[in-house]
Amino acid sequence: MILSILAATPIAGALLLAFLPRQSAPHHLAKTVALGVSLITLALSLVVLAKFDTEVGGYQMTSTHEWIGIFGAHYAVGVNGIGITLILLTTILAPIVILAAFGDRLPDPRNINAYFAWMLAVEGLAIGAFAATDAFLFYVLFEATLIPLYFLIGSFGGPNRSYAAVKFLIYNLVGGLLMLASIVGLYVISSRQGDPSYLLSDLQDLDFSTNAERLLFLGFFAAFAIKAPLWPLHTWLPDAAKESTPGTAVLMVSVVDKIGTFGMIRWCLGLFPGASDWASPVVIVLAVISIVYGALLAIGQDDIRRLVAFTSVSHFGFIILGIFAFTTTSMAGSTLYMFNHGLSTAALFLVTGVMIARRGSARISDFGGVQKIAPILSGVLLIAGLSSLSLPGLAPFVSEFLVLSGTFTRSIPAAAVATLGIVLAALYILIMYQRTMTGPLQPGNEGVTDLEPREIAALTPAIMLIIGLGFFPQPLLNAINPAIDEVVSQIGKGDPSPKTTTQIDVPSSSTEEGGH
């Protein structure tokens, strides 16, 4: 019941905002209501976290009710260590985004109620997707997240917001249709082997033929690869991120896109372990390409928002690489990476959003010397940037190290090439910081004032978590590890055995004597 309440709270808040009267005063009631609802949701998620037993593992706080009996669809929710980690990420970022969005300049300020209502809707739908244990329910929520994001991009974004919103929607709808074909396939197969059901526990007991399993896997994986996004299906992301407000970009990249990588673990590996193993060589190659390709394109960007978007393409490559390396170390690192990437990317989008709003330009070449007049802004950008390049002592370093060390035991070439992404990350972050913050103050940057108290309050929790989890990630790993052990066990791969030195046969004394 508590998971249902947790997901319903922001949805109820969104409906409340929709019925509030429009206001034109600087201090809108909608802002206060949205922030209050997001903080209540955060408090409920902490209650869920307190109730979660890391020693037990499996799905906890489950609730199952028949929904559409003829289809075998159920309203079924529950969380394991992976799901609760991403729910916590969602509820932490929502109030940060909403507080940071108080100063956003919208094309039509009268639509501010809708702006914050759509943000709360994204939060509630994402929580539901991370908690769903019925494939049909998950599909509905997976697709439903497109609606608020479409309006957030298309109604409140930049000059080319309509193009970016339509491109975002088309890409993700195509992926959703492919998943729908697999959903129908699951119904047919479950009907033939008994009563139709979409419950995860029932689907895991189905007997798939090799071809059927691979086809169903491809439908799910294509949808998740677009959402994640994985090269070459990533091209919608830079345009959507460029035209979004900073808060929308955070909700899209740090929260909703995680449904893609989360779905790979829960549904692709959980339902189709054989097909996942069959596809893993190709997926690993695509992940490595994403790491290097995203980093190289980030280096060449002059638009700050596109740069951050391409860094995420690279980071998602690390996450997917760790998932399909099939080791407990790499998969635990991938799940932790989802959380840490969400924090670092949120900080980057929000602090660069402040820079762009102050300067009136997103071009890196228009900045220069900003640290002289905005030292706090400069410091926050430096911490967020260093976390994005996985500097030791900051949260993403731990997860990236786990992904690479786990992958090395499975595929040395893939891990070796992926390591190049760390070097390239240092280039795109440090070059961006140098060109925007250091050197003499460039003309036109005089209006880039330092962070205001509200902006500091919004960014401080993310920065504190980035630093804190960099030194002490164990609480999250304690929740993640039992769930990862179950997934790896189900795949049947197991961690590779340690390599030992080759033994050399030494001739026995009797042989030596026989030769004399």
Dump pLDDT digits (tens) for 59-110.
Answer: 888 888 988 888 888 899 999 989 999 999 999 999 999 999 888 887 776 7
pLDDT of 507 > 50? The answer is no
Q: Where are the domains of the chain?
A: 1-267, 272-490
pLDDT tens for 8-20 read 999 999 999 888 8
Q: 27 falls in which pLDDT band (50, 70, 90)?
A: low
Structure tokens at 468: 């804190």
**Which distant-in-sequence residues (6+ apart) come within 8 Å of 268 by Cβ?**
217, 220, 221, 224, 275, 276
Higher pLDDT, 347 or 497: 347
Express as a percent the part of the chain with pLDDT over 90.
48
Residues of 66-105 as b/e, b for ≥16 C-beta within 10 angstroms? ebeeeebbbbbbbbbbbbbbbbbbbbbbbbbbbbbbbebe
pLDDT for res 21: 76
Q: Determine the Cα–Cα distance for residues 154 and 161; give it in Å rounded to an integer.
A: 5
pLDDT at position 38: 94
Residue 1 has pLDDT above 70, yes or no: yes
Closest C-alpha among 231, 354, 222, 204 to residue 289: 231
Q: Are 381 and 462 in contact (CB under 8 A)?
A: no
Checking if the pLDDT of 496 tops 80, the result is no
SS (H, E, C) 380-425: HHHHHHHHHCCCCCCHHHHHHHHHHHHHHCCCHHHHHHHHHHHHHH
Angle of helix 304-324 versus helix 328-359 axis, rounded to 10: 170
Convert the pLDDT of each residue in 387-444 to its tens digit: 988 888 899 999 999 999 999 888 888 899 998 888 888 888 888 888 888 888 888 7
Q: pLDDT value at position 512?
A: 39
Q: How far does Cα 182 stand from its chain's mean position?
A: 23
Q: What is the pLDDT of residue 514?
A: 41
So what's the pLDDT on residue 503? 40
Give how far the C-alpha of residue 77 lies from the chain's centroid of Cα atoms, to the nearest Å.
20
pLDDT of residue 358: 86
| Nearest CA-CA partner of 403 in 343, 341, 463, 342 | 341
Spatial distance between the Cα atoms of 311 and 305, rounded to a whole number of angstroms: 10
- As a whole number of angstroms, the distance between CA 464 and CA 456 comes to 12
440: its two tokens: 């003499």
Residue 341 CB partners (closer than 8 Å, separation 6+): 254, 312, 315, 316, 319, 396, 399
Neighbours of 496 (CB within 10 A): 14
Residue 192 pLDDT class (50, 70, 90 cuts): confident
Preceding omega of 229 cis (within 30 degrees of 0): yes
CB 48 within 8 A of CB 479: no
* pLDDT for the residue numbered 504: 37
Dist CA 200 CA 135 (whole Å): 7
Task: State pTM to two decimals.
Answer: 0.89
Average pLDDT over the chain reads 87
Query: Is it the case that residue 343 has pLDDT exceeding 90?
Result: yes
